[in-house]
Amino acid sequence: MTAFFVTGTDTGVGKTLVACALLHALARHHRRVVGMKPVAAGLVQTPSGWDSEDAMALRNASTVAVPRDLDNPVHLPEALSPHLAAGRAGMCIDIAHLVDCQRQLAQRADAVVVEGAGGFLVPLSPGHTGGDLAQALGLPVVLVVGMRLGCLNHALLTAQAIRACGLTLAGWVANRLDPGMAAPDENITYLRQQLNAPLLADISHSAAPDFHRVAMQLP
């Protein structure tokens, strides 16, 4: 069974885009692929009730239909840091439960892509972060770097945190968020030299990014 954990240098850097692209790329080699959003903070109204836009995107990119309680076990109404959103909802995020849900998904699919919430060390509870969840899952990590001013520091610190958890940085993706960023190619060159992990994709800036085009860059 193939599985990856997708994280980012920050929130809003394109983790869902990359996770969906990774699912699409994996589907070229595996018949059953499924995405998972363990913790989603911020829901939207849909015809079937309140749901997470990220979780819905992952479901649409999956080839296996699974219960919502497995692919998005924690869905919190407010778009806040998960530990705050959970507190306001009267919940406590249980990492062991999230790991159990991922294990159940692994029994139903040949490949699983898990998308973290926010950045790698986003708080999930007063005593735990997204890094603790990634460590408990023990999956290779794909890092999405939002290419904008400050990304070098954010990328290097995140890679350091990933490795400090004993995890493998399987690769990284450069997502060109800011079309006005100065010297973007030079920044990418620097990260290629420093991250010690393969650059899996270089995503051009787009007002309407398409995960199918991103998937074409992925191995």
Task: Answer yes or no: is pLDDT of 207 > 90.
Answer: no
Instruction: State the pLDDT confidence band at 219, using cuts at 50, 70 and 90.
Output: confident
Q: Which residue has the tokens 């911020």?
A: 42
Query: Is 200 within 8 Å of 172 (Cβ atoms)?
Result: yes
CATH of the domain at 81: 3.40.50.300
Beta bridge partners of 39: 74
Average pLDDT on 121-128 reads 96
**Residue 8: which residues within 8 A CB-CB, separation 6 or more?**
14, 15, 116, 118, 119, 120, 143, 144, 145, 146, 158
Cβ–Cβ contacts within 10 Å for residue 127, how many?
8
Domain of 45? 2-215
Structural domain count of the chain: 1
Q: HSE on the CB side for 21, CA within 13 Å?
A: 25
State pLDDT tens for residues 67-108: 999 999 999 999 999 999 999 999 999 999 999 999 999 999
3-state helix, strand, coil in the chain (%, to 5): 40, 25, 40
Task: Answer yes or no: is pLDDT of 197 > 90.
Answer: yes
Provide the percentage of residues in the chain whose pLDDT is more than 70: 100
Average pLDDT on 154-173 reads 98
Distance CA 145, CA 82 (A): 21
The predicted structure's pLDDT at residue 118: 95
Instruction: State the pLDDT confidence band at 1, using cuts at 50, 70 and 90.
Output: confident
The predicted structure's pLDDT at residue 105: 98
The sign of the CA dihedral 189, 175, 18, 61 is: negative
Average pLDDT on 143-172 reads 98
Q: Which residue has the tokens 């109204």?
A: 45
Q: Which residue has the tokens 């990856």?
A: 4
- Mind giving me the DSSP string for 33-98? EEEE-SEEE--EEETTEEE-HHHHHHHHH-SS---HHHHSSEEESS-S-HHHHHHHTT----HHHH
Q: Read off the pTM.
A: 0.97
Mean pLDDT of the chain: 97
Q: In terms of Cα–Cα distance, which of 38, 4, 9 is closest to 21?
A: 4
Task: Answer yes or no: is pLDDT of 201 > 90.
Answer: yes
Provide the percentage of residues in the chain whose pLDDT is more than 90: 97
Provide the annotated active-site residues.
Answer: 37
* Between 48 and 150, the higher pLDDT residue: 150
Instruction: State the pLDDT confidence band at 33, using cuts at 50, 70 and 90.
Output: very high
